[in-house]
Chains A and B, each alone.
Chain A
Amino acid sequence: MKGSETPSTGRLSRRDFFKGLGTTALAAAASQAESVAQELQKINAEKVLGPGPVPVTLKVNGKTHKLELEPRVTLLDALRNHLGLTGPKEGCDRASCGACTVWLDGVTIYACQKLAIDAQGHEITTVEGLTPDGRLTPVQRAFVERDALQCGYCTPGFVMSVSALLRKNPRPTVEDVRHACAGNLCRCGTHPRILEAALVAAGLPPVSTTRTEVINHV
């Protein structure tokens, strides 16, 4: 098999580099997994929860909610189906589409990948929590004005990602916006408009990746 590989040029080939990296990373992961397992064992020895419902207290959009949930209930399930907060959407239930993006202590997370019991003791913010007074935030206004949405199903997730970015970085570059939205998918193809809206919301010139002209036929 070796013979069929690209002949060695004397340099470290890309393949060799990855091979080397692989073994180190694997070793590290194995020892990490072991310590995590020990940690878990210690915690579980102290208290076993479930499988039946257990009391869960969640602080969402500034309000405290006392719920009875099975430990396997995700934060997204709790928000949507137990608290009626349907702004966060379910698109994949496995941390790959970002429609469920909410904030945990101001940091974006996939609500589908956090168990509700693990979200206790944190400040959870959903898209509903951005506008307690019903007025649009600058980000939301920019999304509407720039038409950064079509079917709108992914929109709350994008709004949460862009809003979190601007809180941390009020003057982002196009690349910063791309990076902040890398975990959100949109099937209608509103991405160029989302880039634009993020910059407009930040008060920056609307660097646009699209250009349009309407010309008359006659």
Chain B
Amino acid sequence: MSEWPAQPKVLGTRVPRVDGPAKVTGQARYSSDIQAPGLLIGMILRSPWPAARIQRINLEKARQMPGIKAAVAVQEGPRIVRYYGEELAAVAGVSRQACEDALRAIEVEAEPLPFVVREEDARKPDAPRVWEQAPNMPPPRVREEGNVDEALKECAAVIEGFYTTSVQLHHPMETHGGTVRWDDEGVTAWISTQGIFSVRDGLAGALRLDQSKVRVVTEYMGGGFGSKFGPGVEGVLAARLAREAGAPVRLMLSRFEEALAVGNRPSSFQRIRLGAKADGTLHVFDYENYGTAGVGAGQATEGGGGGADLPMPYIYRVPNRRIKQTTVAVNAGSSRAFRAPGHPVASFGMESAMDDLAVKLGMDPLELRIKNDPSEIRQREYRIGAERFGWKEKYRKPGSSPGPIKVGVGVASATWGGGGSSRTQGEIQINPDGTVEVRLGVQDIGTGTRTVAAVTAAEVLGLAPDQVTVKIGDTRYPPGPGSGGSVTAASVAPTVYDVCTRALEELQKQTGLPDVRGENWRAACKKLGVTPLVVQGRWREGLSSSGVGGVQFAEVAVDTETGLVTVRKIVVVQDCGLIVDPLTAESQVNGGVIMGIGLALYEERVMDWQSGVVLNPNFETYKLPGIADVPEIDIVLINMPERGVIGLGEPVHIPTAAAIANAVANALGVRVNSLPITPRKVLAALGKVPTAKA
């Protein structure tokens, strides 16, 4: 049982986000909006080679260009660059136009090297090596339980499938970067980040400064989705330029750069053999997977490794299993954590195999899941969702939808942690006039962190949320976690609860009043005299937990003449413990689903194997879901106050793509085994793509 009040007044009510007015009026200042006297613009010169030995970089001409105040190389001396777009040097000048001119004046002596950008090419033994000292594809790690080879013989049905996913880009609307200023006290950096403390420590390390000399401020940031934890090369370059120029520098990446060097979701090539007994009980899972994390295994974050390993056989229990996984390096930007790292891709592979197996067994795919999913909460969610969606009425045998526009349905599931960080701290300042300021060293990536804090404080203090001012996004405030792994709400709410509970006790003690809450608040605060009350607190046990399940149902229409897939409806059934604010919680669900539509149907980083460049580094050719692509979204949130607060942002994104892919397979009667499901792939699966014949 959690300590949360049994009859909450504010918790669980629909509170509009407290920083909404600042955002709709343009008053909210993002890292890219910071203005400072003498502000310079910074820009980066990037490698035009997918692989090259850099001999020398000459910045002299660039330094002489009009309006240029600083120029730095990323690294002195010879080095090797390993992907198109890797950072070489940077300049700072009075305008972006001056910087553009100066970048063209930088001279780079380089010897181009062989490169490889396609996974299937990179794994060949004679492929150019991305890292000289190691093969591109190390031997797989093998995990085995039971006896797979024997078990295969014991099955009534075994399917073999090959399921692939593409490299997906984060593309937050605000690009990576920030504004950096030096003064006598050190560095102040306004960085667009999900982790102000990890940026602070990263900058201090790169600049060889004491951590106490670096202050990171992120009042507002325009999305990150896992890609914005460290300062990045761009953050460090901005700081070095600002130091050299003796002036503040704003360095924000362009949309073009955003597609090259600041993270992505690894691809996957999943070969699955899945077998079951005649009653549908899963018996064997034989799995091989590799994917590319670009030049690196990714940046370790709280959200997960960001690597190419997938949690398989995902949510199902299979007694006999053999799992072989590896990664393949290619000459492309490194992966980073991306909203529920590994999970949406694992879900796509596993849930596709489940549906293919259901077809072979002649079973309803929902029944196959109910038979094999060990989670109690998901069992309940299948029932609720099926009824809400009308599964029984809508499910038909694959490919049996009449006419050229075929309708299909699919289902898929998710699991996630989302517990709080026990090291979160916070403080409150209560002023004699009754105003309240809660201060937390966390940041809001768009989930409504300020609002979670305001709602919690209002509940405990007996106030309205708008009576509480929440200050976040500054490393001068008590430390909090990075916004990854869906931990923020479960970190913030218990911390604010603790801070406010202690503050109430202290206020009672100082004023001698038995109850200082609600209508007594102002009178109590007045008794403080001239000294505000400041109380610290920290994350408290018993107010949050982790572990959620989610189930999603999808209905699609596929035009078999054009290959176009339209998502008509998504039903989401999700638990997330105690719901702090249903209004903002639902927004996260919408967001997870819509991003899942992108993964399912549109998003893919395309690289040219001959030139090694990213071919679609813009929104015209890398398609994000737009307002016309958004289906009816029907959300059921299961409120479990007894479990306390649990994060929700990632789990709601996980099963969408898999459910859509299954719905497409159900509509067509053949599977499109590769994400994104583009019209070309649909037509190819239907045998409608003309092939040149001799």
A residues contacting B by CB (< 8 A) are 1, 3-6, 70, 72-73, 77, 80-81, 84-94, 96-97, 99, 126-128, 130-131, 136, 140, 143-145, 147, 149-156, 159, 177-178, 181-182, 184-195, 209-218
On whether the beta carbons of A91 and B255 are closer than 8 Å, the reply is: yes
Q: Chain A residues near B604: list those with CB within 8 A.
A: none
On whether the beta carbons of B17 and A147 are closer than 8 Å, the reply is: yes
On whether the beta carbons of A181 and B586 are closer than 8 Å, the reply is: no
Q: Chain A residues near B26: list those with CB within 8 A.
A: 85-88, 126-128, 156
On whether the beta carbons of A153 and B97 are closer than 8 Å, the reply is: no
On whether the beta carbons of B639 and A217 are closer than 8 Å, the reply is: yes
On whether the beta carbons of A212 and B173 are closer than 8 Å, the reply is: no
On whether the beta carbons of B590 and A193 are closer than 8 Å, the reply is: yes
Q: What's the Cα separation between A152 and B690 when bound, in Å?
A: 45
On whether the beta carbons of A152 and B594 are closer than 8 Å, the reply is: no
Name the 5 nearest CB pairs between A and B, nearest first.
A87-B26, A153-B222, A151-B446, A189-B591, A189-B594
Among listed B27-35, B236-244, B304-312, B513-521, interface-contacting one:
B27-35
What sequence of 0s and 1s flags, for each residue 73-93 of chain B, a beta carbon within 8 Å of any chain A beta carbon? 000000000000000000000
Q: Chain A residues near B632: list those with CB within 8 A.
A: 209-211
CB-nearest residue of chain A relative to B41?
A: A81
On whether the beta carbons of A214 and B21 are closer than 8 Å, the reply is: no
Among listed B329-337, B488-496, B498-506, B577-585, interface-contacting one:
B577-585
Q: What's the Cα separation between A89 and B27 when bound, in Å?
A: 12
**Partner among A144, A152, A215 whose Cβ is within 8 Å of the Cβ of B220:** A152
Q: Is the CB of B587 closer than 8 A to any CB of chain A?
A: yes
Q: Chain A residues near B220: list those with CB within 8 A.
A: 151-152
Q: Chain A residues near B122: list those with CB within 8 A.
A: none
Q: What are 19 of the A-B contact pairs (CB < 8 Å)? A: A85-B26, A86-B32, A86-B33, A93-B254, A94-B255, A96-B619, A128-B27, A149-B20, A149-B24, A150-B223, A150-B448, A151-B173, A154-B222, A184-B627, A189-B587, A190-B590, A210-B632, A211-B633, A215-B637
Q: Chain B residues near A191: list those with CB within 8 A.
A: 590, 594, 625-627, 630
On whether the beta carbons of A97 and B173 are closer than 8 Å, the reply is: yes
On whether the beta carbons of A144 and B17 are closer than 8 Å, the reply is: yes
On whether the beta carbons of B445 and A151 are closer than 8 Å, the reply is: yes
On whether the beta carbons of B174 and A89 are closer than 8 Å, the reply is: yes
User: How far is the CB of A205 from the nearest CB of chain B, in Å?
Assistant: 16
Q: Chain A residues near B221: list those with CB within 8 A.
A: 151
Q: What's the Cα separation between A130 and B583 when bound, in Å?
A: 26
Q: Chain B residues near A94: list those with CB within 8 A.
A: 255, 618-620
**Partner among B95, B172, B174 whose Cβ is within 8 Å of the Cβ of A81:** B95
**Partner among A80, A147, A181 whose Cβ is within 8 Å of the Cβ of B16:** A147
Q: What's the Cα separation between A85 and B693 when bound, in Å?
A: 60
User: How far is the CB of A181 from the nearest CB of chain B, in Å?
Assistant: 5
**Partner among B95, B255, B592 whose Cβ is within 8 Å of the Cβ of A70:** B95
On whether the beta carbons of B25 and A127 are closer than 8 Å, the reply is: yes
Q: What's the Cα separation between A209 and B595 when bound, in Å?
A: 16
CB-nearest residue of chain B relative to A5?
A: B690
On whether the beta carbons of B591 and A188 are closer than 8 Å, the reply is: yes
User: How far is the CB of A90 from the nearest CB of chain B, in Å?
Assistant: 7
Q: What's the Cα separation between A195 and B632 when bound, in Å?
A: 12
User: How far is the CB of B44 from the nearest CB of chain A, in Å?
Assistant: 15
| A interface, over-half SS | loop
Q: What's the Cα separation between A195 and B631 when bound, in Å?
A: 12
Q: Is the CB of B134 closer than 8 A to any CB of chain A?
A: no
Q: Chain A residues near B693: list those with CB within 8 A.
A: 3-4
User: How far is the CB of B489 from the nearest CB of chain A, in Å?
Assistant: 14
On whether the beta carbons of B591 and A190 are closer than 8 Å, the reply is: yes
Q: Chain B residues near A195: list those with CB within 8 A.
A: 627, 630
Q: What's the Cα separation between A152 and B22 when bound, in Å?
A: 9
Q: What's the Cα separation between A136 and B626 when bound, in Å?
A: 26
CB-nearest residue of chain A relative to B18?
A: A144
Q: Is the CB of B234 closer than 8 A to any CB of chain A?
A: no
Q: What's the Cα separation between A130 and B624 when bound, in Å?
A: 29
On whether the beta carbons of B95 and A144 are closer than 8 Å, the reply is: no
Q: What's the Cα separation between A73 and B586 when bound, in Å?
A: 41
On whether the beta carbons of B627 and A189 are closer than 8 Å, the reply is: no
**Partner among B16, B593, B627, B634 whose Cβ is within 8 Å of the Cβ of A145:** B16
On whether the beta carbons of A144 and B20 are closer than 8 Å, the reply is: yes
Q: Is the CB of B447 closer than 8 A to any CB of chain A?
A: yes
**Partner among A4, A152, A186 whose Cβ is within 8 Å of the Cβ of B692:** A4
Q: What's the Cα separation between A73 and B99 when bound, in Å?
A: 13
CB-nearest residue of chain A relative to B30?
A: A153
Q: What's the Cα separation between A209 and B631 when bound, in Å?
A: 7
Query: Which of A5, A128, A187, A213 is packed against the most chain B CB atoms within 10 Å?
Result: A187
On whether the beta carbons of B95 and A217 are closer than 8 Å, the reply is: no
Q: Chain B residues near A188: list those with CB within 8 A.
A: 173, 223, 446, 587, 591
On whether the beta carbons of A213 and B16 are closer than 8 Å, the reply is: no
Q: Chain B residues near A192: list those with CB within 8 A.
A: 590, 630, 633
On whether the beta carbons of A150 and B586 are closer than 8 Å, the reply is: no
Q: What's the Cα separation between A194 and B682 when bound, in Å?
A: 31
User: How far is the CB of B308 from the nearest CB of chain A, in Å?
Assistant: 23
Q: What's the Cα separation between A181 and B447 when bound, in Å?
A: 22
User: How far is the CB of B368 from the nearest CB of chain A, in Å?
Assistant: 25
What sequence of 0s and 1s flags, for each residue 1-41 of chain B, a beta carbon within 8 Å of any chain A beta carbon? 00000000000100011011111111111101101000001
Q: What's the Cα separation between A89 and B26 when bound, in Å?
A: 9
Q: What's the Cα separation between A135 and B124 when bound, in Å?
A: 64
Q: Chain B residues near A187: list those with CB within 8 A.
A: 171-173, 223, 225, 595, 624
Q: Is the CB of B54 closer than 8 A to any CB of chain A?
A: no
What sequence of 0s and 1s flags, for each residue 210-230 of chain B, a beta carbon within 8 Å of any chain A beta carbon? 000000000011110100000
Q: What's the Cα separation between A215 and B33 when bound, in Å?
A: 41
Q: Chain A residues near B446: list those with CB within 8 A.
A: 150-152, 188
Q: Chain A residues near B530: list those with CB within 8 A.
A: none
Given contacts A87-B27, A152-B220, 12 further A-B contacts (CB under 8 A): A89-B174, A91-B255, A145-B16, A151-B172, A154-B222, A186-B173, A189-B590, A191-B594, A210-B633, A212-B634, A214-B582, A215-B638
User: How far is the CB of B332 from the nearest CB of chain A, in Å?
Assistant: 21
Q: Chain A residues near B583: list those with CB within 8 A.
A: 147
User: How far is the CB of A156 from the nearest CB of chain B, in Å?
Assistant: 5
Q: Chain B residues near A186: list those with CB within 8 A.
A: 173, 627
On whether the beta carbons of A214 and B639 are closer than 8 Å, the reply is: yes
Q: Chain B residues near A77: list those with CB within 8 A.
A: 95-96
On whether the beta carbons of A211 and B174 are closer than 8 Å, the reply is: no
Q: Chain A residues near B27: list those with CB within 8 A.
A: 87, 128
Q: Is the CB of B363 closer than 8 A to any CB of chain A?
A: no
Q: Is the CB of B642 closer than 8 A to any CB of chain A?
A: yes
Q: Is the CB of B635 closer than 8 A to any CB of chain A?
A: yes
Q: Is the CB of B523 closer than 8 A to any CB of chain A?
A: no
Q: Chain A residues near B593: list those with CB within 8 A.
A: 189
On whether the beta carbons of B95 and A178 are closer than 8 Å, the reply is: no
**Partner among A87, A150, A194 whose Cβ is within 8 Å of the Cβ of B447:** A150
On whether the beta carbons of B634 and A210 are closer than 8 Å, the reply is: yes
Q: What's the Cα separation between A84 and B39 when bound, in Å?
A: 12
Q: Chain B residues near A3: list those with CB within 8 A.
A: 693
User: How far is the CB of B687 from the nearest CB of chain A, in Å?
Assistant: 13
Task: Using A159-B24, A187-B595, A217-B575 as known contacts, say yes or no to A150 and B587 having CB atoms under 8 A apart.
Answer: yes
Q: Is the CB of B127 closer than 8 A to any CB of chain A?
A: no
Task: Using A159-B24, A187-B223 as known contacts, say yes or no to A213 and B590 having CB atoms under 8 A apart.
Answer: no
**Partner among B96, B222, B628 whose Cβ is within 8 Å of the Cβ of A182:** B628
**Partner among A70, A144, A147, A189 whose Cβ is within 8 Å of the Cβ of B97:** A70
Q: Is the CB of B670 closer than 8 A to any CB of chain A?
A: no
Q: Is the CB of B245 closer than 8 A to any CB of chain A?
A: no
Q: What's the Cα separation between A191 and B592 when bound, in Å?
A: 12
